[in-house]
Amino acid sequence: MYTAGPTEYLLATTTDCKERMSDRWKSTAPGTWITENSTSREVSDIFEFLTAQGTFHFPVLPNGLFSAAAGDGGDFELTGYRNVWLRDNIQIAWAHWAVQKNAATAVRCVSALHEFYRRHRHRFTSVINGDADASEPMNRPHIRFNGSDLAELPEKWSHAQNDALGYLLWLTCRLIASGDLPCSISEGASESSSPWDLLSLLVHYWQTIEVWRDEDSGHWEEVRKVAASSIGCATAGLTELRLLMSRPEIASALLKCEYPVRPEMVDDLIAQNRTALTNILPAECVQADPAKNRRYDSALLFLIYPLNIVNDRALEDQILADVGAHLTGPIGIRRYLGDSYWCADYRDLLSADQRTADFSDSLDARDRLLKPGMEAQWCIFDPIVSCIHGRRFHQSGDMSSLAMQRAALIRSLTQLSPRGGRFPEYRCPESWFCEKGVWQPNDITPLLWTQGNLWQALTLYRKSLEKLGR
């Protein structure tokens, strides 16, 4: 009679244990997985379970870039979400770096983004030199492009997005400061080994368009306005660049660029931006035009996490309170009041190729489709709210912060795609929308940006429990 040896017994026991844990999560609703008594081990088990289900699968292009979403099928192909968005790629790269300490993935992604903008540097220089009109969005650096061949897309798009460029500058500088993104500062260094020429172009570009009062389409790629969320992203990037310039060799390298950048130039941009933020926050936009004026916008959450650029606890509290009171819904969080993107019965009202078209010049047509109170409930925000409170708990040990961190994480888990729906179970949607009276994930499922945010929220909550010794 054969008797299993110690190694085989341990392997069988471990496998059996994992199967039992998997059955535990499968047999219960995601909203019940996290409780006040959860342990760090249980949170790790949830993470491992979701990973095994494909929740945190990040398909990557050969050059290191990420398409915005990982869906399939005819309707999905018409959404354009196979393309690369600058903003999404930075958020995804940041998640890999912040959660997994995976510098290689973040660096490959950021380096590929640098290469795209080097190939199309004329978008910066033409505006700087006055050869192109920056009021025409197609003349600006393109924010959405073909990630496979780093080619610009010909269709009209709202490329006036200072927030996305701000994220690029911010993460580039963070990676350089950490030593994960090696940059040559020697004279005659190749562009592929040095980002300084590209970063100097961005600084001059922002100075030319006066970023602190520039009307851009921002995070949601819609009506152009002077937006605090965009100015804040640019400020975060410039602040990180200014910190790097305290190193004499980097300051010297920036002075030797074709478009030299001096510390005073960066200081002036930061000061102008800070003044603008003081005059706008906690609103998103204070312009008198009702089509632009916006008191509440969930994009402001990103200025708190991951950018950490608000620098005022009372102001952070106000932004969180505004989102909680005015934008939080029963499932997710609205981008802003009156948002008609994926409003009720969206799939019946618009064809697949119309649903994600550029509405920046014709938003009124889409807004007429919105029924009051039926804005889409987005899934990228609750994980960020959880991370904000988690960071506060790590800094202060305040148990009320831990409770709010947990509550937002629980909401995030309830947003995963359900069993028996249009998508595999446990996927991270862009948002939920109402169709014939039933709320369900929209076509952009899974959205990699949501995945990255949930990944961070779970990891930070596990660390919070470890801090308590649980």
User: What's the pLDDT at 192?
Assistant: 52
Tokens 């030199």 sit on residue:
129
pLDDT tens by residue, 143-193: 999 999 999 999 999 999 999 999 999 999 999 999 999 876 544 444 555
- For 165-218, the DSSP string reads HHHHHHHHHHHHHHTSS----STT--GGG--HHHHHHHHHHHHHHTGGG--B-T
Phi, psi of 428 (to 5 degrees): -100, 105
Type of residue at 436: K
- Residues in Cβ contact with 153 at an 8 Å cutoff, skipping those fewer than 6 apart: 83, 142, 144, 145, 146
User: What's the pLDDT at 169?
Assistant: 98
- Tell me, rounded to whole angstroms, the distance of Cα 406 from its chain centroid: 21
- Whether the predicted pLDDT of 14 surpasses 60: no
CB 222 within 8 A of CB 297: no
- Whether the predicted pLDDT of 390 surpasses 50: yes
- Tell me, rounded to whole angstroms, the distance of Cα 192 from its chain centroid: 26
- Tell me, rounded to whole angstroms, the distance of Cα 281 from its chain centroid: 20
pLDDT tens by residue, 358-383: 676 778 888 899 998 999 999 999 99
| 211 closest CA partner among 124, 152, 149 | 124
User: What's the pLDDT at 17?
Assistant: 56
User: What's the pLDDT at 20?
Assistant: 66
CA-to-CA distance for 327 and 306, rounded, in angstroms? Answer: 20
Share the mean pLDDT of the chain. Answer: 91
Burial of residue 303 (CB within 10 Å: 0-12, 13-18, 19+) is: buried
- Residues in Cβ contact with 384 at an 8 Å cutoff, skipping those fewer than 6 apart: 301, 302, 304, 305, 453, 457
Both tokens assigned to 311: 């620098």
Strand partners, 151: 146
Tokens 């602190």 sit on residue:
212
pLDDT tens by residue, 106-119: 999 999 999 999 99
Burial of residue 274 (CB within 10 Å: 0-12, 13-18, 19+) is: middle
End-to-end CA gap in the chain: 43
Tokens 């005819």 sit on residue:
74
- Whether the predicted pLDDT of 22 surpasses 90: no
**Least reliable range by pLDDT among 77-81, 245-249, 294-298, 372-376:** 77-81
Measured between alpha carbons, how far is residue 250 from residues 22, 206, 257, 258 in Å? Answer: 51, 20, 11, 15
DSSP tally for the chain: helices H, then strands E:
19, 6
Which pairs count as long-range contacts for 423-429, CB under 8 Å and 24+ apart, including other chains?
423/71, 424/53, 424/54, 425/53, 426/30, 426/50, 426/53, 426/54, 426/55, 427/54, 427/55, 428/55, 428/379, 428/454, 429/379
CA-to-CA distance for 381 and 453, rounded, in angstroms? Answer: 8
CA-to-CA distance for 204 and 241, rounded, in angstroms? Answer: 13
Both tokens assigned to 160: 């006036």
User: What's the pLDDT at 11?
Assistant: 42
| 429 closest CA partner among 16, 32, 26, 68 | 68
3-state secondary structure of 84: strand
Type of residue at 437: G
Which has the higher per-residue pLDDT, 42 or 2?
A: 42
Strand partners, 439: 434
- Whether the predicted pLDDT of 32 surpasses 90: yes
Confidence band for 102, pLDDT divided at 50, 70 and 90: confident
What does DSSP say about strands 431-435 and 438-441: parallel, antiparallel, or unpaired? antiparallel
CB 369 within 8 A of CB 470: no
Q: What is the number of other CB atoms lying within 10 angstroms of the CB of residue 458?
A: 24
CA-to-CA distance for 391 and 413, rounded, in angstroms? Answer: 19
User: What's the pLDDT at 287?
Assistant: 98
Both tokens assigned to 238: 């410039």
pLDDT tens by residue, 317-369: 999 999 999 999 999 999 999 999 999 999 998 887 777 766 767 788 888 99
Domain boundaries, the chain: 36-62+328-470, 102-297
User: What's the pLDDT at 10?
Assistant: 38
CA-to-CA distance for 64 and 103, rounded, in angstroms? Answer: 12
